[in-house]
Amino acid sequence: MQLVVLSTYDLIPVRDGGQTRYLNLYSRLSQRHDVTLIAYDHRQTGRTRTYYINSRFQVILPPMLPGDATLFRDNLQRSNRLTHDVNCIRQYKFSTEFHRVLQAAVNSCDVLVASHPYLALAAFSHAAASTAKLYEAHNVEYDARRSYYRGTTDPALTRLLLEDVRFGEGFAAHDADYVTAVSSTDADRLVELYDIPRSKLTIVPNGVDIASYPLLDPHEKQMVRDRLGLGGRPLAVFVGSAYLPNAEAYLRIREMLLQAGYSGAVAIIGTVNEAVPGDLTLVPFKERWLGFVEEELKTLLLTAADFALHLMFSGAGTNLKLFDYMAARALIVGNSFGTRGVAGGDWFWPVETSDDLRQFLEKRPWETMEGEGIAARARAVAEQQFDWGVSARILARLLTQGRGALNIPLCWNKAEYS
């Protein structure tokens, strides 16, 4: 089987949740099938760039049309927000090379995947009748963009962009043969927004590479903490990209920790530091702003932490960092919004207010058998439901059952797509 996957940004280096999903999901599918990811990235100029993730997973980046690049810069200046994804729906004209690469790839593929809705309008019309069209929703993009564009410096442009998002996402949802969502909540919201049958949607959850999170013994954990200069302080972790809801979440968490009297340390991991103001007031707890770190170091930090702060207040979809916390067996401090998309309540410590957080800190459950049990249950949930191999098998099964003409082979042993 040949899959063509559409993206609006390069895959490497992996710096956010979307790239993590691309790499993990389609690398596993490429164990048995040929995958070509075509990305219209605003940073790509000059000639087409091509590289391989593995022998069956190819990435192609055609150059951006100079006029599209100008529009992108103008919109950025007008709104103080990145609008590249949304521009792809109805504002860009696309380069001749992009159209050529897209047409050649679509002519020979069995499955055409709009991963995010932004290139569906440009690409789905090229698909042959025998080609399966899939809209792979990472979020409910209309809700995510409403949050992201809140407070822009050009309300008129914002309204236009949101109209385009709703049009483009609605088109992708209606025109695709299949739609996948990362959670039941997102699936229900897509049905509500676009009046599509719920039976058209399949849940292909976000996930984590469980095997990359070995369990550290106490001595190994202490070695990691000593390198951070923590002494005997408890260590909390927060992971986030520069996506605005992550920055808003950490600023609110920071205030809650202050009100709760926290005196330990917080390791803030990821590019969220780029979206947080640089003139923050001093706090009595130690903050280590680590920025983007390699996956191996992130794994070590999460596994060595006492607890993970997963208090989210806006955004859409499920947060990939939640599954990282679960795999690392860090005791998750979560609120109802942050833990949406995962059933049950026995795998995290519920916190909604600063008073709840104060009680958690006073009780210090990360040092107790109760806390260890909660963290162990979270790890078990991740292994059973949110390993990337599980998500890859769900997607393969969807394509197998949906169109018999594809005749996609599928093996159901545990090692498949691992």
pLDDT tens for each residue of 34-87: 999 999 999 999 999 999 999 999 999 999 999 999 999 999 999 989 999 999
The pLDDT, as a whole number, for residue 199 is: 92
C-beta separation of 201 from 189 below 8 A? no
Q: What CATH architecture is 210-385?
A: 3-Layer(aba) Sandwich (3.40)
Sign of dihedral through CA atoms 82, 83, 86, 92?
negative
Sign of dihedral through CA atoms 82, 87, 89, 90?
positive
Which residues have CB under 8 Å from 75's CB, separation 6+?
81, 83, 87, 157, 161
Per-residue pLDDT for 403 more than 80? no
What pLDDT digit, counting tens, does each position of 157-204 carry? 999 999 999 999 999 999 999 999 998 989 999 999 999 999 999 999
Phi-psi region of 344 (alpha: psi -120 to 50; beta: other; left: phi over 0): left
Pinpoint the residues of the chain covered by CATH 3.40.50.2000: 2-207+387-406, 210-385
Tokens coding 55: 């022998």
Tokens coding 188: 């229900």
What pLDDT digit, counting tens, does each position of 306-331 carry? 999 999 988 765 678 899 999 999 99
CATH of domain 2-207+387-406: 3.40.50.2000
Report, as an integer, the average pLDDT of 249-264.
96
Per-residue pLDDT for 227 more than 90? no
pTM for this entry: 0.82
By C-alpha distance, which of 323, 415, 336 is closest to 378? 323
